[in-house]
Structures are given as structure tokens and as C-alpha cells.
Structure 1
Amino acid sequence: MKKFALLLFLLNVSFVFAQQQVSGVVKDNTGNALPGVNIVEKGTQNGVSTDMDGAYKIKVKEGATLVFSYVGFSKLEKVVTDATLNVVLSEEGGQNLDEVVVTGTRTAPRSNTTSALPIDVLSSKDLTSTGQASFDKALQYKIPSFNTVQTPVNDATSLLDPYEIRNMGPSRTLILINGKRKNMSSLVYTQTSPGRGETGSDISAIPTDAIERVEILRDGASAQYGSDAIAGVMNIILKKNASLGSVTLRTGITSEGDGEMYGVSLNNGSTVGNKGFINYTVDFSKVALANRPGKVNADGEIADFGANPADVNAFLALKPDAGNVNGSPETAAAKFLVNGGVDYNENNQMYYNAAYVYKKVNSFANYRTPYWRSVDAMPYLATLFGNGTAASYQGYVPTFEGDLNDYNATIGYKSTKNGWNTDVSLTTGGNTQIYTVSNSQNRSFIDDNGNDAKDPGENFLYGINTPITFKPGGTSFNHYVGNIDISKNLSDQLSLGFGSEFRTENFEIFAGDLASYTGNRSGADSFQGNTPENSGKFNRYNLGLYLDVALDITEDFLVNGTVRYEDYSDFGSATVWKASTRYKFSDDKITLRASLSTGFRAPSLHQIYTQKSQSSFVPGQGIVVQGLINNVSSAARASGVPKLDSEKSTNFTAGIGLKPNKNFNLTIDYYNIKVEDRIVLGNPITFSPTNTSAFFVNGIDSRTSGIDLVAGYKNLIIGSGKMGFNISGNYTLQNEIDGPVKNPASVVAVNQSVIDKTQEALLFTSRPQFKIIGGAEYELGKFGFTLNNTVFGPTKFKNAGMSNDLRVEFLTKMVTDLGVSYSASDKLTLALNVNNLLNVLPEWKFKAENADGTKILNGTSTVTSEREQFNLVTFNGRYSQMTYDGYHFSQLGTMFNLSLNYKF
């Protein structure tokens, strides 16, 4: 990274001559500010673009002429005669720049209402208006097909939350930054949480203030971009403004008085000589712990732990929540990002961007109660976690601390010669996570020879000699990506694009310290360390080639075809294709579009090589240690686990776009996605009394279909102000296993399955059946008001161990967000956001699957009771609110967020 930064510095060094500074605001003829207008000093490469409020600032020579250009508007030239120059652009076609997208095609950009593919475009203003503290949470309340949840007490999952588009898991959405592939996280989700068995990029690491806009392609795009694009592509476009800067102060708190948030963000830019620009963002934030434990049921504890009722009741009288710390963890983050480039002349440009993020998360494991970890069985606990007396020992709660480092950088060169556009780039990126477990113990008794000691009185290495802080290791992932993209408009009707990508990936598992994994109790209590045998470095490379052809048969009729070939060093090759079409009529007011494509997703290195022991909550058994064997191990071969192959997909999308006037737009799209050989992390399989293991396998085919709707109306004059409305929604028609589970023969032989009702629910029915976002914004003088209502549809879950006669169902809920902003001056804006204004919390209930289930709920069952089932799925009430599975919005209640933005 140091060499990369030095290279960027040397490329941008040049002399800066004295110039005149000009600033102003660019608006359309209805008074709307225009973000993203290109402003160039005529005859030079000196240029800037307007910010989200239409403002700009540029240094030019005295008497210079500024050229204002904006897609869909007439180009305007103005001579600089003053330090302030405000302009109004006249509209030609009613197509704003933020409606023109570069995602989804490797040839020429298209409009999102007239493109052949469904694409959402969100500006930075759209993201900040949500009041959410991070980029991924802002998307949750703007994109109906996008979902992300925060999972409690799930170890490394607390470092970054799983996300997904169209219920397809995080690994099937490709993340791009300025059109280049972002690195994956080093974490594979192995706990019972959304995204189990998958990995994705850490999109929460991207500072919102660095983003100009986000383009989300809701369609399979493996043919254009390669692996991981089965569900769609998210392209994050960074700010390019070289003159205007701002600093934002943020703070927030929940209505319960916890979860305090503090943050400061600086975004600024500068010209570099007459030909270059640089834009940079620095963001620091800290969020305090928000705790939402449930009230623990004594009868369930007595049954699970075989404990003395008097001991249980005495402890729960002291700690009704059994000491559990269950909620949103304490998080601190530092984020740095730079975006820049140099226009050497009108045909040659160098560009670059780089980012670094450090994140530290402090979370907690389940509290080890004194009747769970008994001082009678382990007398030394009174010394480790008390003052030496048995009465002083009240259990202990292990902490889980994670340190995350994430970086990415791209440098590239664009040139145009004889109409041929060439883009050559090199991208690198990586993610490292290192873990620490504190306030814990190694419960193993080991004698001097390394053998299990039966008598705690023997000379042993652990017990009273156990460490209480452990370093269980961690993981690292990085990649290097080289791209060559070439395109040309061969005629007014025919565009051609082709190119190649070479990528090398490296995955490393770091071994923990000896005490974190050794002993007859599997090492550190709560989170076992990586053993040397389970650790190591792993890598692979792949080469991809693509060809993209777009033909405008007529001005209204477009067809686009793409074919791609990929060859991986570890599992082989894949060839995929895509065909799309679009037809416009009624003066571009109506657009019909459709696409059909095949796709693939290579098994990640994480899925191939991860092998570990981990603590998990098993209903009725409490916390147990289970094993995960990697796909290339001798244990996998001995257990009959087949080698992983790539997933294959078939995507079909069809839709209509309406834009009857410049203020109204509507798109409706149907999608149908079939995934064959979908990779899943299966249930632990008991092959023998001494061999119970979980593993990754191409276990199922799946079918997902649904409908997306996006509509908006703007510039409605009400009183002295202007109002805009938007509504968008996603409705899932199908999300299910397609055909029988593909169990390996060895699993069939022991009459088990890698997918049970719990896994099936986690993959499919634990997502909202529908999600609707309806909002309005009103601008009145210096005030701005936003009101958004997000409806989360029902979800269903089947917790492990619960009766087959019941299911858990989360009810439909609506979350209301209110925002108020006040522009005290052209430079100072104050904004207050109240998220979840009505303090709505997820709510679940048991639902009967049959007559026996009805008896349980009516209290007439002679087999089990609703209370017993409640204890099973909530760990005796520990997770009555912050439950593991099925919820889909924040369980922290109302959040108050205040921000102060100052422009300079």
C-alpha cells in the first residue's frame, strides 16, 4: 500500500498557477438543483462536477469560459465575469444524469428507465436521507429487494452483517467500486444466521460520504462480470468533485438510552495542476453497546443443565436475564478513501482509487452461569472469577473481540484512438480478521505428558493454570485483478465490447495460540482456536474472456448479447451467456424489456478450505462444540464428501418502464432464478459414534421468483414548497428447493440429510415474503422533510429441536422513519432523523402446522407445551427478542440521529 500511495503521489505532482475561484449553483428550469453536472474550463481539461445540492467551485484563468454539460440538457457556455456564477440549464429530453447508468453493459451507457435491464440508481443524498449510520443499513431502507440483518451472539458474524439481493445470499451479489471488483471478506458465516455457509464483501466498510451514487443491477450478470453475479451487481461510484468539501458531525442514541453513536466525516477534493483531480474521505465513528436480553425461564434452565432448582432461582433472582449481553455490539471504525485521476488530453486519462478501513468490535458470548460452569466441579473458578470463596463466584461472560482490516485499490489507464476505447487496470484488495477471547478459560485438565487428567488434583497444565485471554487466530483473504476492456461504436447502430480479466485469490487461516484449541474440552470456552492442522495458506487463479455486442435495430429496438468464458485453476472452466432486449414506443414513454442468461458461481476458497471446531446453541442441549471439515481433507474423503463444483444458474427477467413525463417514472419487473448445484453448509452428520461433522456440499437446486416495482413522482407544488413521492416493493413468488436434496451416498447410508427443516427455513422462508418502501419528501424554504414507511412482510422459521407440529412466524410490521433538515445557510445544514419513530419491534408467534400443533397452542397436548417449545427456540428466553433467526429489521427500537454538515 505504501508503494501504491507513493505512485499516486508522483503521478499527480505538478505546478499549480494562480487562478480565479468561481462558485455557484446549477439548477433546471423548475428550480431543482442538478447534481453531477460537468463543468469544464473551455480549452482545458480543468473541470469539476456539481455536488448533491447542485453547487460547484472551480479555479480558472481570468476571463475564462465555463462549459456546463448534462445529459438531457442543452450545453451552456458562460464567460466568467464574477466570483459567483449561477446557471439554469434548459431540459431537452427529461433524462437526468443520475438516471444514466454504466452498470449492466460493457458497451455504451443507458438510461435506467429505457435500459434493457432493471437497475436502481441511488444518489448520495438518497443514502444520507435515511439517517442510517452505515451504507448497508441505508440500502436496507431504500432497496426493497435488498436485505441485511444484525445477528447477536454469533462470534465473528458480529464484525460484518450478511446482506443479499432477491433472497440469494451475500455470495451471489457482486460488489464493484467504480466498475472494478471489490474483494470478498475473509469471513465465512458458519453460525445459524442469515447467509450461513457464504461470504460476501464488507460493504459497511465503505464511507457513505465518499459515494456519488450507487447502481444496483437486479439481474444475473455472470456473462458480463464473472463469478458471484448470479443475483445481481452493486456498482459503487465514488465522488469526483475536486473543489467543494464538507465536514459532517454525527451523533445518535436509542430510545432506551444506549447504543450511543458518535462520528465525524470529512470529504474534500482538490485539483492537481490543470489536468488532475483528487477527492478524499476520512470517517471516524464509534457505536456503544445496546443490550436487549430476554428474561430467562428457570424451569428450562433446570431441565437443560440438570441444576439444583434453588441455585437456579437464586441466580435468576439476582440476574433475571442470566447475565446475558445480547444485542448490538460496541464498534469503532476508521475509514479512509481517495479517488482521483489525470486527464492528460481528451483521449488519455489515468485514474485511481484506494481505501483502507479498520474496525474493532467488542461483543459477548453467552453468560456461563454458576450452575452451568459449577464451582463444585471446578473449584478454581472461585479464584479466576471471584475473590476465592465459593459464594463470590457468580459465573462469567466470555468476550469476543474482533479486529478487521479491509483495503482495496485500483489504478488504471483509459485511452481513445480511432474510436476504440481501451481501459487497462490493476486492482488489489484484502480483508483480515483477528480474534481475541477474554474473560474465559480452558476447562481441560492435561497432565505433564499432554494426556487428559481425570483428577483435577493432578499436576495439570490448565484448570487453575488456564489463561483467561486467548488468541484463537483468524482469517485473511486478498486478490489481485487485472482487467483489459475494449469497446467501440462500429456504427450508429452497432456497439462492440470485449476484454479479459485475470484474478488470483489467496485465503489464509491463522492458527490460534496453544491454549485456545488444546485439551479434552476443545480449548477456549465459547470460541475454539484454529489448530495448526486446520490452518494454512491456499490460493488459486482464473482467467476470463468476454464478448459483448449491442445492436440498435431501430432507434427504439435494442438487442444485446454477451458470452463469457472462465477457467479456474482449481475446479475447471465455465462458459455462460446473456441475451437482452428493449423496445421503446410512445416517444420513449413506454419501454418493454427482457433478458435471459446463464451464470455461475465458483466455490469460494473459504468454502473449500475452512475447517474448525465451533460452539453453537443446540436447542435442548445448550452450547455444544461441533466440527466442520474442509472439502479437500482426508476426513472429507473418508466421510464420502464429494469435491465442490461451481453453481450454475439460469435467469429470466421481463419488465416494463413508464415515463409519461419528466416528473413520473414507473418500472415493474418479473424475475425467475434457477440455481443448480447450490453450495450449502449442511447439518452435522453423524457417520459414527466418534464422527459427527458438518461440511460444504453442492446440496440443492433452488428456484427464486418474484416481482419488483419502483415508482416515483417529483416536483408536485404544494403551497410554497415542492413534494416528491416514491414507492417501491418486492414480492417473492417462489423461494424454495427445486427437486430433491442432493445428499452424498454416505449421508443417505446413515439415513440423514444435509438439509433439514431448519436449514431449509434459514435459506428460504426466513426472508420477508414481501417488502414495501413508501416515502415522501417536502422542501419548503430552508426546511426539508422526509417520511418513509417500510413494510417488512412475514417470515417463517423452523428452529432445530422444536416440534414438527409448530413453526415460528414473524409478523408483518411497518417501520416509520422521519427526517427533518434545516439549511441555516448555504454552508450549514442541520438534520434530525428519527428511525423507527413508533418503536416497532419484530414480533413472532408459534403457528400450528397441524392438529397436534393446535393442541400444543391450546394447552391440551399431553406430549409438550408451548412454554417448553418457547424455551427450546429462545435458549430458555435468552433470545426472546434478539432471537437468532427470522427477524429482518432492527430490534433496538427507536433511534435518534443528529447530524451537522458544513460545506467549505
Structure 2
Amino acid sequence: MKTPSVALLGAAALVVALPALAQTTDTVAANNAAPAATTDVAAADTGNAEIEQVIVTGTRAKNRTVLDSAVPVDVITAQDLQAAGSVNGELGQALQVLLPSFSFPRQSNSGGADHVRAAQLRGLSPDQVLVLINGKRWHTSALVNDSSKIGRGTAPVDFNSIPINAVKRIEVLRDGAGAQYGSDAIAGVINVVLDDGRDGGEIAASYGGYHTHEDPIDKSITDGQNVYTGAKIGTRLGDDGGYARVGAEYKHRNPTNRAGFDDFDDPPGVNRNYAMGDGEARDVNLWFNAALPVSVGEIYSFATYNHRDTTGYDFYRYPDEAPDVYPDGFLPQTLGENQDIGATAGLRGHIGTPWSYDFSLTHGRNQFDSGVRDTLNESLGTDSPLSFKTGDYELRQTTANLDFTRDLALGARSFLLAFGGEYRYENYRTSPGDESSYDGTGAVGGSGLRPSETVNLDRNVEAIYLDLSGDVADKFFVDAAARYEHYEDAGGKLTGKLSARYEFARALALRGAVSNNFRAPSLAQVGFQHTTSNFGEGGTLVDIRVLSVNDPIARALGARDLEPETSRNFSLGFTGQLGDNFDYSLDVYHIDVDNRITLSTRIGDEEGHLEQYVEDNFGESGVQYVNFFTNAADTRTDGAELVLNYHETLWGGRFGASTAYTYNKNKVRGTEQTPAQLQAILPDVGNDALVGVEERNTLTDASPRDRLILSSDWRNAKWGLLGRVTRQGATTRVFDFGDGFHPTQTYNARWQLDAEVEYHITTQLSLAVGGNNLTDNYPERSNDDINYGHNLPYDVLSPIGSNGAYYYGRLNYSF
């Protein structure tokens, strides 16, 4: 276990009073379809202008700025993302580096989470944050993470399918916003604003890798090399402000491995049979963003495309499990081919003097093809293939929006009135794997999807909304919104939000919001089925089948139609500016979520009662353990977020620093009792079988309770210096190995030091070198109850990661 070094402590002391998320923003006209916002994490290095600019997420008012927002919003710029994303060009990773309220942990040996990583906001579920691109609702992944710890049972938005060089800025609304944006916005909204540069372009390339000392094997390792190349260019269209911006990216990540010596092997403690870490990944990204003025307004369009091939790690199978085919044992690898595309086209303009309008059509599609290799189907013996296609998952979403806004005089005050409607069509379908992948016992490490388990589901969603905002008195701003949204399969819900801000003085303003929000179950959660391997009774590997709630077996065990999640959100905060160089915000919040959707605990027993019941009643053999989706938990989240920003002119350049801290505590308020049908089949299952100890841990303590980011930045015409210290809070892991054995470990907080130096060789060409986790810190080692014979020496889910120190270089050429 490593401790903070002298260099780390020195850096912390240097920036502790003034550090952190250096960010800038550009003035942007509010998009009618994209309600506007301001930034709490303001530019540390560019001065006062940025915190006084207009914003575009969180309210439709056209004149709200960074400091006078009624709700907390962070703004991340392209420059911030460039430095933070130099590890591998991943957008989600860059956001975690910059925002303490955003969690994007690396997971290993975790099924689908090895291929599509899930992000959290404010410690809530990944599917409880709504993602927009240029203000338009974006689609989620088709893959449900069924074996992960964070995001288990969710189909999250795939942040890494969004090209990082396409981003002009990102606005993160940390508040419930269902009345403004619709379903999914329980934790908040992340709006990605694309680059709209009318001239010039950029070419960027970076290379880096991990160089670390892994204590469990006492060796220095260099691996995980990352290559990133990206280019973009823009041009003017016509003479009235039209533009077209296009770009492309290529990324390649080599795998890492931090497994320990295998104590279960013969001889023990000599070989590394397992693998834990990042799998290999190759990405190709394409994008464009364009607008063209016409006689009736402006035609606009934008799109992103991602193709990714990935590998993930399964668990090692020992020689006695397949002596004829793999006499020395084998380590299956999971495979993923991800194709993601989203495109929007629209027309916006004015109708007469007071009215403006925006009509748009957005289509999104995600397809994930899964497979497994270096394995076999034991029931086929020596005739078994050694690689298998295990199933295809596809999500399609088409959304039409029509929005209107106008200024409205009420008495002596001027307000902004906005209203509109949305129609959305969603389709989710799955296709079976190779017959050999599910025949008999199925492929080891990833049994294929059977034809009987495939689905083709669709639904229609309609919504209307109304929003009124303005100053009801001097220095007193109020925003009221209401929305009715109806799902064909899940019913309708009326949501509302009231937010307000009162400025006592420039140095102190009070803000707050109250809202109710909801999230309808995704079609993926309704229809997803899959079989995976995980640790079961006594820590042995068992196959677990995820059942759709519509599956006859699940119904017989007590599964019911999923209901929408509902929430009640409250927030209260202070914000202000002291002098011209320092601003601050402090917000506290409270979120109650009812009917939270999660995967049930693993259902089954070592004695085989469930297996016998399924074979007798449904004619299927070998079904030892199952789980299914359920609305079994009500949760509560309480938290606080602090942001401090400081900037000044120093040594001929601009110096900026800030501190960002977040704290949230999650608890389970109540759970649904075990269905009577299940208790009749498994009398010893208990009254709390749907949400067991592992599921409670997932909802409460598996993510850090707090995170602190301290960063400082200094730049002039030639040099740029960046230092960042991050403290990842403690996490707790709880496992259920049966018979009341629940091994538990709390992993203490860890510090991480990142730094970068950039030199402008010319005004157009710059070179940067830097490193993340420069002190080569690791999480605590897992105890003997959890590390599986020292094969998995670190927690597969760790906020600081288990890869060690990373070093990189980056070249940028702008023209």
C-alpha cells in the first residue's frame, strides 16, 4: 500500500487554498430547444468575463450568467477536456477528472461494463442523468450492465462514443430537471455543446502508457499504451453566419493486467492465470456540426458516429474443467463491437416580432454485438468452437421536438414564456447468438442468447411542457416549469419545478429549487436477457441467468411489470463574488427516489431447489441461479457541493485556481418483501431476497461518499502549467457468497497527483507532456476473503483505478 509522497503533499500545500477545475466559457445565444444554464465551476485562468457570460442549460431565460443561475451548473471547456482526456481521449474519463460530482470508474471482470462504462452524477444511477447534445435528447446504449457494480442493471449513455474533439463545452446541471427536459433527469442533465467554429481547424495527437510497480508480484510493468489522433476543420457557409465543422478521431488502447500470483494453481503462488485491468479497445469517431441561414430562419444539423471493438476479461478456468480441449486451463475473453450513431436536423427562426420557434428531428441508434473467445462449450467436447457470437442488442430512438418562446410583459416586468411538445419512438430488439453458444451447457464465460430469449419491443412517448421565468422583483429571479409526459407502456406523469434566486448583494445570493421527477423503465430493462458467470455459493463460479420481467420463469418467481421511478428533489445554496478575482458556491440537496429499478439479488440455492422447479415446470435444465429487474427499493440521497474559484494576473500570465468538493450519502429507505411465489419455492430465502446485501451496497457505499479536486493553472503566450490533486473518498464492498457469508472491506481514501507542462513552439504548434497519478498510488489490497486466492489483489472497482502511474505527450497544431 502506497502513501502520499513528499511531492504530492507539497503540491497539495501549494494549491490547497486556491485550487482546481480550470474552466472557461464562450458567450452563446440560448437555443430555444436547449434551456440555458450558467457555470459554478468558472474559468480559473481567463478572468471575470467568463463568469458574467450567458448560459444554455437549466433555464430558458436568455440573460442568466455564471453567478446568477438559480441552480448549480458546471461548465467544462474544450481546453479543459484536452488536458484531462490525455490518458486515452475518453470523454467520460475527462469529466471524472474535472468534476467531483461525476463518477466514471473503471471496472474489470465485470461483463458488459468492460465494454461500455457507466457514469454517475451525485451518486445516483447512471440512467438517472439525462444527456443532451446541442440541447437534444441523446440515446442510451443497447447493452445492460448486468455484472457490474456501478450501474448494475442500467443501460447508460455511452459517453466514450462522443468524440472529445467535437466538444466546444459541456454544461452539467446538478439538479433534478424532469419538468424541463423529461424522463431520466432525476440527478441532473449533461448538455454537450458541439464545436461551431466557422474558420480554421486543429490536428492533435497524443501517446502515453502506464509505467508502474505492482507490489503483489513485485515487478515494474509498462503496458496500457494509448494512441490518440484527431483532426477537425471548419468553413463558412454563405455570408450570414453559416458554418460547417467536421472532425474525426482514432483511438487505440492496449490492455493492462494487474492480477496477482494464483494461490489456487499447482504449484501455488507462481503463475498469473487471471487478468484484471483494461481490455483492448479501438475506436473510430466521426462528427459534424453545421448551420445555414435561409429566408425563414436557419437550418441546422449535427451528427456523431462511433465504431468500437473491445475486449474484456472473464475468470480463469482450471485444467480439470476442460482437460481434453485446454489441458493447461484457459482464460475466456469477452468481445464487443459497438456501433453508435446520432443525428439531428432542424429549422429555427422567428414568427413575427415576439415569437421564436425551433423544430427538430433526432434519430439515434446503438448496436452492441457480443462474443467470447479462447473458450469452449463443454457439452460439445472436442467438436466445440473456441470462439462464439453470443448475441446482438440494438436500440433505436427517434425524437421530434417543436418549441416556442416569446417575451411576455406582466405588469411592469418582462418574463420569458416557453412551451412546446415532444414525440419519441423507441425500439429495442435482440438477436440470438450462434447455436453452439447456447446449445447444451453453453459457451463458458458467456453463454449465448437463445432464440426464445430475444425480444422486439417498441413504444411511443408524448410530452408537452410550459415554462415561465423572469424577475418578479429587483434581484429576485423565479423560474417555474411544468411538463406532462406519457409512455405507452408505463403511463403518464406530471412533473413540476420551481427555482429561484435572490441577491442580497454582489457577495451573497441565496438560491434554491424544488421539483418532482420521474424515470420510466427503459425498454432494455424490460426486455434484456443474458447469462453470465460470477461468484456464487462459497465463492465458486456459477452461471446466472438474467430474466426479463416478461419471462414465464420470472413471472412464476414473482416478477411484475416495472413501474416508473419517481423522485422529490430539494436544493438550497449560496453563491457570490468577492472582489473581481474570487467567486464561490455552496449547495446542499436532498433526493428521495421511490420504486428504484435494480436487478434483484441472485436467486437460487446450492441444493438445487430452483433448478428442479424450473426443469419440472418449464422443461429447462441447468438453471441454477437467476435474477430479474424489480422496483424493490426506495432510496434517499443527501449531499453538499462546494466550488471556490480564484484568478489573477501573475508573472506576465494568467493564474487560476479552484477547489471543488462533493459529498453525498445514499441510504435505502425501504425494500419490497420477497414475493410469496418465491418463498414457496425457496422457503429459506428470507423476507428481503430481492434487495440483498450486495444490491444494498451497490445503491449506497460502493461509490465514494466524497471527492475533492484541487487544481491550479498558469498560462502565458509561451507556457502553460497545470497541477491537480484529487482525493478519492472511501468505498465499501460487500459480497454474498451464500450461507450467510458476506465478506466486507472498506477501502480507504486515496490521493492522486496529476501535472502537465505545455510549451507553444509557435503560435500554432504546441507540445505538452504530463502524467496522471504521478506518485503511482494504488487502492488498498483486498483481503483474503475477497481477493480470490490473490488472483484479484485490488478491487475491480476503484475510483483511483488499479493501473498505476500514466505518462503522456501531446502535440497540437491549430490553423
Q: Give the TM-score, by structure 2 length.
A: 0.88
Which residue pairs with 2:504 in the alignment? 585
The superposition leaves residues 685-740 of structure 1 with CA deviations (integer Å, 9 ceiling, x where unpaired) of 237453442111100100001100111111242x34432111001012x3110134
What is the deviation of 1:239?
A: 0.7
The superposition leaves residues 289-334 of structure 1 with CA deviations (integer Å, 9 ceiling, x where unpaired) of 111112222xxx3xxxxxxxxxx423x46x522x212211111000
Whether 1:631 and 2:563 are equivalent positions in the alignment is no
Whether 1:199 and 2:133 are equivalent positions in the alignment is no
SS where residue 102 of structure 1 aligns? coil
Q: Choose from 403, 421, 429 the match for 1:508.
A: 429
Which residue pairs with 2:677 in the alignment? 746
Q: Write the distance in 1 (CA, Å) between the matches of 2:601 and 2:588.
A: 33
Instruction: Sort the Cα spacing of 1:421 and 1:404 in 2 relative to 1 into closer, same or farther, 3 A.
Output: same
Q: Choose from 116, 121, 125 the match for 1:169.
A: 125
Which residue pairs with 2:342 in the alignment? 408
Supply the RMSD in Å over aligned alpha carbons. 2.3
SS where residue 157 of structure 1 aligns? helix
Q: Write the distance in 1 (CA, Å) between the matches of 2:745 and 2:672.
A: 23
Which residue pairs with 2:87 in the alignment? 132
Q: Write the distance in 2 (CA, Å) between the matches of 1:111 and 1:627.
A: 50
Q: Write the distance in 1 (CA, Å) between the matches of 2:564 and 2:62.
A: 31
What is the deviation of 1:629?
A: 1.6
Task: Determine if contact 2:750/2:800 at 8 Å carries over to the other structure.
Answer: no
Instruction: Sort the Cα spacing of 1:243 and 1:544 in 2 relative to 1 into closer, same or farther, 3 A.
Output: same
Q: Choose from 770, 788, 794 the match for 1:833.
A: 770
The superposition leaves residues 109-135 of structure 1 with CA deviations (integer Å, 9 ceiling, x where unpaired) of 521321111100111111112233211
In the alignment, structure 2 segments of 5+ residues that lack a partner are 1-21, 30-37, 40-45, 212-220, 615-624
Which residue pairs with 1:234 in the alignment? 190
Letter matched to residue 427 of structure 2: N
What is the deviation of 1:156?
A: 2.3
Which residue pairs with 1:366 in the alignment? 315
Q: Write the distance in 2 (CA, Å) between the matches of 1:433 and 1:424.
A: 31
Instruction: Sort the Cα spacing of 1:233 and 1:124 in 2 relative to 1 into closer, same or farther, 3 A.
Output: same
Q: Write the distance in 2 (CA, Å) between the matches of 1:595 and 1:902.
A: 44
Highest RCO, 1 vs 2 (Cα 8 Å, sep ≥ 6): 2
Q: Choose from 478, 498, 516 the match for 1:559.
A: 478
Letter matched to residue 814 of structure 2: K
Q: Write the distance in 2 (CA, Å) between the matches of 1:509 and 1:679.
A: 21
Instruction: Sort the Cα spacing of 1:756 and 1:468 in 2 relative to 1 into closer, same or farther, 3 A.
Output: same
Instruction: Sort the Cα spacing of 1:744 and 1:562 in 2 relative to 1 into closer, same or farther, 3 A.
Output: farther
Which residue pairs with 1:288 in the alignment? 254
Whether 1:496 and 2:414 are equivalent positions in the alignment is no
Q: Choose from 710, 715, 728 the match for 2:660.
A: 728
**Superposed, which structure 2 residues align to 1:309-388 within 5 Å?**
312-314=265-267, 316=268, 320-321=271-272, 323-344=273-294, 348-371=297-320, 373-375=321-323, 380-381=324-325, 385=326
Which residue pairs with 1:422 in the alignment? 357
Q: Choose from 718, 722, 732 the match for 1:786.
A: 722
Identity of aligned residues (%): 29
Q: Write the distance in 2 (CA, Å) between the matches of 1:550 and 1:629.
A: 46
Task: Determine if contact 1:98/1:121 at 8 Å carries over to the other structure.
Answer: no
SS where residue 763 of structure 1 aligns? helix
Which residue pairs with 1:704 in the alignment? 637
Which residue pairs with 1:29 in the alignment? none
What is the deviation of 1:613?
A: 2.1
What is the deviation of 1:785?
A: 0.6
Which residue pairs with 1:221 in the alignment? 177
Task: Give every structure 1 segment of 4 or more consecutive aligned residues whose post-TM-superposition deviation is greater than 4 Å.
Answer: 32-35, 802-806
Instruction: Sort the Cα spacing of 1:765 and 1:661 in 2 relative to 1 into closer, same or farther, 3 A.
Output: same
Task: Determine if contact 2:26/2:50 at 8 Å carries over to the other structure.
Answer: no
Which residue pairs with 2:74 in the alignment? 120
In the alignment, structure 1 segments of 5+ residues that lack a partner are 1-31, 40-70, 73-90, 302-311, 386-392, 445-461, 847-869
SS where residue 440 of structure 1 aligns? coil
The superposition leaves residues 391-438 of structure 1 with CA deviations (integer Å, 9 ceiling, x where unpaired) of xx3122222221100010001111112211101000001111112222
Instruction: Sort the Cα spacing of 1:684 and 1:799 in 2 relative to 1 into closer, same or farther, 3 A.
Output: closer
Which residue pairs with 1:679 in the alignment? 597
SS where residue 533 of structure 1 aligns? helix
Whether 1:884 and 2:796 are equivalent positions in the alignment is yes
Letter matched to residue 352 of structure 1: S
The superposition leaves residues 421-472 of structure 1 with CA deviations (integer Å, 9 ceiling, x where unpaired) of 101000001111112222211111xxxxxxxxxxxxxxxxx21111112111
Instruction: Sort the Cα spacing of 1:37 and 1:235 in 2 relative to 1 into closer, same or farther, 3 A.
Output: closer
SS where residue 100 of structure 1 aligns? coil
Letter matched to residue 293 of structure 1: A
User: Between Structure 1 and Structure 2, how many residues are aligned?
Assistant: 743
What is the deviation of 1:516?
A: 0.3
Which residue pairs with 2:208 in the alignment? 252
Task: Determine if contact 1:291/1:328 at 8 Å carries over to the other structure.
Answer: yes
Q: Give the TM-score, by structure 1 length.
A: 0.79
SS where residue 463 of structure 1 aligns? helix
Instruction: Sort the Cα spacing of 1:241 and 1:353 in 2 relative to 1 into closer, same or farther, 3 A.
Output: same
Which residue pairs with 1:78 in the alignment? none
Q: Write the distance in 2 (CA, Å) between the matches of 1:511 and 1:774.
A: 49
Q: Write the distance in 2 (CA, Å) between the matches of 1:776 and 1:844.
A: 31
SS where residue 813 of structure 2 aligns? strand
Which residue pairs with 1:767 in the alignment? 703
Task: Determine if contact 1:622/1:875 at 8 Å carries over to the other structure.
Answer: no
Letter matched to residue 206 of structure 1: I
Q: Write the distance in 2 (CA, Å) between the matches of 1:722 and 1:742.
A: 59
Task: Determine if contact 2:735/2:742 at 8 Å carries over to the other structure.
Answer: no
Q: Write the distance in 1 (CA, Å) between the matches of 2:210 and 2:60.
A: 45
What is the deviation of 1:99?
A: 4.5
The superposition leaves residues 733-766 of structure 1 with CA deviations (integer Å, 9 ceiling, x where unpaired) of x311013445434345544311112211122101
What is the deviation of 1:585?
A: 2.9
Whether 1:536 and 2:455 are equivalent positions in the alignment is yes
What is the deviation of 1:223?
A: 0.7
Give the stretch that moved more between structures: 656-665 or 253-262.
656-665
Task: Determine if contact 2:734/2:742 at 8 Å carries over to the other structure.
Answer: no
Task: Determine if contact 1:107/1:548 at 8 Å carries over to the other structure.
Answer: no
Task: Determine if contact 1:619/1:875 at 8 Å carries over to the other structure.
Answer: no
SS where residue 67 of structure 2 aligns? coil
Instruction: Sort the Cα spacing of 1:34 and 1:799 in 2 relative to 1 into closer, same or farther, 3 A.
Output: closer
Task: Determine if contact 1:192/1:884 at 8 Å carries over to the other structure.
Answer: no
What is the deviation of 1:589?
A: 3.5
Q: Write the distance in 2 (CA, Å) between the matches of 1:699 and 1:258.
A: 42
Task: Determine if contact 1:698/1:742 at 8 Å carries over to the other structure.
Answer: no
Task: Determine if contact 1:820/1:831 at 8 Å carries over to the other structure.
Answer: yes
Whether 1:713 and 2:713 are equivalent positions in the alignment is no
Q: Write the distance in 2 (CA, Å) between the matches of 1:34 and 1:632.
A: 49
Which residue pairs with 1:810 in the alignment? 747
Instruction: Sort the Cα spacing of 1:545 and 1:828 in 2 relative to 1 into closer, same or farther, 3 A.
Output: same
Q: Write the distance in 2 (CA, Å) between the matches of 1:806 and 1:617.
A: 12
Q: Write the distance in 1 (CA, Å) between the matches of 2:744 and 2:312.
A: 30
Q: Write the distance in 2 (CA, Å) between the matches of 1:656 and 1:609.
A: 44
What is the deviation of 1:349?
A: 1.1
SS where residue 171 of structure 1 aligns? helix
Q: Write the distance in 2 (CA, Å) between the matches of 1:688 and 1:466.
A: 28
Q: Write the distance in 1 (CA, Å) between the matches of 2:560 and 2:491.
A: 15
Task: Determine if contact 2:391/2:448 at 8 Å carries over to the other structure.
Answer: yes
Whether 1:524 and 2:443 are equivalent positions in the alignment is yes
The superposition leaves residues 336-381 of structure 1 with CA deviations (integer Å, 9 ceiling, x where unpaired) of 0100101236x7111110111000112332222213x252xxxx32
Q: Write the distance in 2 (CA, Å) between the matches of 1:533 and 1:644.
A: 21
